Structure 1
Amino acid sequence: MQKNDPYAALRYPEFRLFLFVRFALVFAWSMQFVIIEWEVYRITKDPLSLGIIGLMEVIPAISLALFAGHLVDQKEKRNLLILATLAFLALSIGLFFVTDPEYANDSSTLYLIYGLVFLGGIVRTFINPTLFSLMALIVPKELYPNAASWSSSSWQMSAVLGPAVAGFTIFSLGTHTSMFLIIGFIVIAFFFLIQIKPKAILNPKIGEPVFQSLREGVKFVYQTKIILGAITLDMIAVLFGGAIALLPIFATDILGVGSEGFGILRAAPAVGSFVIMFAVAYFPINNNAGLKLLFSIFGFGICMVVFGLSTSFWLSVFALFMSGITDGVSMVIRQT
């Protein structure tokens, strides 16, 4: 194997299957979330409704994150991901029926959407750590940095295309048909996922009480300062990046660019991240990772400030694009 071979991880067939799975799931999820944001704001014209969508996702994310990590450690990753994917499929079918234009304009529809988003937040809480853990069982340890770059690139590519396609399909086909396309991508993800073989459970503490496991995990994080610092910086970046959830308001009320412009704005951060992920696959971040992480988080915050103050569409796109570049650097460093 060549030194610094940028395609090293791709030479493993199951890793290629894994990339297809991650691409399809993230594409479906990012496309779905954009459509939900647009549909809810279309019904309510109330910025608070967008905040409620975020709340419906963050409640399960915060309350179940530690438990999800414990369960992922205890269970076989591939089968757990299959169950989570089937749950995602069921919720997406529900959203497809809820967005039927015959009755998608009243408060009952809104409450159903909130409920399905909440359940989706639960499912996503389990999908994310399962994907990350499964990747670590597919490639050798020495290829983790290379695999992380390709995995992140797959994530960013799907996050680029998902919002862009969502904006286009909302404009040309409507939300109901757009939701049907999402179902197709989840089925594709399931098809590739079942071709990956089940993996051994490497956790030596099978059957350990959940609270004891969580206590040891929290203790480990607090004792490992480098992990604690990375998690803290990541949390700060997520808090700054919350402005992305308000993009329907920026697109319609501030910038006046409609659903097509909304798709471009939603895709811009992921385009920037994809560019930097592709570069990192060829030029790995091997030195001064901590300093580069600090600068990338600082740059991300500056980009969010520029975006918040901008009244120009293309300046807003540029600020979001640069935020994707800075976030992409920090993402690679955090994952490796």
Structure 2
Amino acid sequence: MSTPEPLVAATPKLREQRDYLRLLAARVSGGAANQMLMVALGWQMYDLTGSAWDLGLVGLAQFLPALLLTLPAGHLVDQRDRRLLLAASLTLQSVVAAVLALGSAGAWVGSGLILSLSVLLGMARALQMPAQQALMPSLVPAVLLPRAVAAASSTMQTAIIGGPALGGALYALGPWLSRQLGHTAAPTAADAAHWGAAGVYTVSLLMLAASIVAVLGIAPRAVAARRAAPGWTEVTAGLRFIWQRPVVLGAISLDLFAVLLGGATALLPIFAKDILHTGPEGLGLLRAAPAAGALVVGLWLARHPIARRAGRWLLGAVGVFGLAMIGFALTTSFWVAFAVLAISGAADMVSVVIRQSLVQLETPDEMRGRVGAVNSVFIGASNQLGEFESGATAALLGPVGSVLLGGFGVLAVVALWFRLFPDLARRDSVHPRP
């Protein structure tokens, strides 16, 4: 008799994880919608006020509710159905898009309404980010998680590329939309701006609706955590968990300070309009440029994960990001600006994949909501608070001085983190040590 061959478990494949693919679809659709919203909000606010300070206030209005609500939201994510919480956050963003679409079509959107609705966007993201981060590891086998993170991050870049480009193009179609809706053959600039913004917000609303449908198609997952009262000890458990792990703390805080200092997103309307002399379609391309670079690197990392010297790769990538921002501040060429922003996005993708893999693989499932909430606060601070910082320093130093100072600040942070977090610099693999 022949001896039967031993059974070998088939290696799982990402394309076979259907719920994971549904989450990817939701991230792409919702992410593109969000990017379109931000392009229209930025251009509309600058059209209304012409103020760098007001552009910064849009970021601050989104950051403050996220700062206050994200930790309680993370506790909630560890207790309730993460799919439904993610769908709820997307629904709130849909309400914002609907109000902006109606207000722009009716020409009653002002700076005060934009700031008020930015607060609602901040509230929605306070729930969305921890729910989204905690949900993904439950949809794929642990062995696939680093590749899943890289694939999700690179796929998300398609939304961050397409969303701003589409949003800018739709905004630029304002004069055509105005004529099609029965206005004069030569609509005023104000009419064109209103209808251009209304078109962007309407398409964003439809894409958010598609994202909600995709999320609700994911099969429910059991939550491992016990149903605990949301006391302060439970709410802050994620903070304590991260504080006790220097590698995770170093990775998250590095991203916080790098993007807080070096981000230039809030100032792109000023660079596009006053320095690079382009319109909303050019602004859309500039916002898409970092994602274009990130997409290329993300696709590479999905097939060739970083296996050695992860800590040095992380710190080096953030250093390249700082150098790219210095280059962006110094150029007056649109296409050079596009290129250096693409380089900044490529470097940021390396940082994102390593950081998210470290955080997810070091965190047990019952803690992922609360740890994801802390991570969301750090990311929110680096993005929304960074936009406020950019607007405030630009009001004092001008847009070029603001971005230049931020780029050098990023390089200083990298040098300091080598000394403050030596375990991070020496970390070889993203997988936890046995």
TM-score, L = length of structure 2: 0.73
2:117 alignment partner in structure 1: 116
- Cα displacement (A) at 1:46: 1.2
2:77 pairs with 72, 88, 92, which one?
Answer: 72
CA distance in 1, matches of 2:276, 2:107: 30
Q: Where do 5+ consecutive residues of structure 1 fail to align? A: none
Secondary structure of 1:93's counterpart equals helix
- Cα displacement (A) at 1:140: 1.3
CA distance in 1, matches of 2:100, 2:350: 34
TM-score, L = length of structure 1: 0.94
- Cα displacement (A) at 1:64: 2.1
1:215 pairs with 236, 249, 255, which one?
Answer: 236
Q: Where do 5+ consecutive residues of structure 2 fail to align? A: 1-8, 175-195, 358-434
| Alignment pair present for 1:178 and 2:219 | no
1:224-235 residue pairs with structure 2 within 5 A? Answer: 224-235=245-256
The answer as to whether partners of 1:70 and 1:210 remain within 8 angstroms in 2 is no
Secondary structure of 1:201's counterpart equals coil
- Cα displacement (A) at 1:141: 1.4
- Cα displacement (A) at 1:256: 0.4
Secondary structure of 1:235's counterpart equals helix
CA distance in 2, matches of 1:155, 1:49: 28
Q: What amino acid is aligned across from residue 243 of structure 2 in structure 1? A: Y
Secondary structure of 1:74's counterpart equals coil
2:327 pairs with 306, 315, 324, which one?
Answer: 306
2:28 alignment partner in structure 1: 23
Bigger Rg, which one = 2
Go from structure 1 to structure 2 and tell me whether the alpha carbon gap of 1:90 and 1:305 turns closer, same or farther (over 3 Å shift): same
2:213 alignment partner in structure 1: 191
Secondary structure of 2:236's counterpart equals helix
Q: Deviations over 1:112-143 (max 9, x none)?
A: 11101111111011111111111111111111
2:152 alignment partner in structure 1: 151
- Cα displacement (A) at 1:214: 3.1
- Cα displacement (A) at 1:215: 3.4
CA distance in 2, matches of 1:234, 1:64: 21
Q: Deviations over 1:195-219 (max 9, x none)?
A: 111111112x421433112333222
- Cα displacement (A) at 1:63: 2.2
The answer as to whether partners of 1:243 and 1:308 remain within 8 angstroms in 2 is no
2:95 pairs with 64, 68, 90, which one?
Answer: 90
Go from structure 1 to structure 2 and tell me whether the alpha carbon gap of 1:170 and 1:143 turns closer, same or farther (over 3 Å shift): same
- Cα displacement (A) at 1:2: 7.2
1:48 pairs with 30, 44, 53, which one?
Answer: 53
Secondary structure of 1:75's counterpart equals coil
Computed over aligned residues only, the root mean square deviation of the Cα atoms, in angstroms, reads 1.5
Secondary structure of 1:311's counterpart equals coil
Secondary structure of 2:307's counterpart equals coil
1:200 alignment partner in structure 2: 222
CA distance in 2, matches of 1:89, 1:175: 15
CA distance in 1, matches of 2:77, 2:16: 26
The answer as to whether partners of 1:84 and 1:126 remain within 8 angstroms in 2 is yes
Q: What amino acid is aligned across from residue 15 of structure 1 in structure 2? A: Y
CA distance in 2, matches of 1:278, 1:2: 24
CA distance in 2, matches of 1:246, 1:15: 35
The answer as to whether partners of 1:98 and 1:112 remain within 8 angstroms in 2 is no
Q: Would you say how many aligned residue pairs link Structure 1 and Structure 2?
A: 328
| Alignment pair present for 1:326 and 2:347 | yes
Secondary structure of 1:99's counterpart equals helix
- More divergent stretch after superposition (305-314 vs 244-253): 305-314
CA distance in 1, matches of 2:130, 2:238: 14
- Cα displacement (A) at 1:309: 1.9
The answer as to whether partners of 1:221 and 1:228 remain within 8 angstroms in 2 is yes
2:169 alignment partner in structure 1: 168
The answer as to whether partners of 1:240 and 1:304 remain within 8 angstroms in 2 is no
Q: What amino acid is aligned across from residue 102 of structure 2 in structure 1? A: F
2:318 alignment partner in structure 1: 297
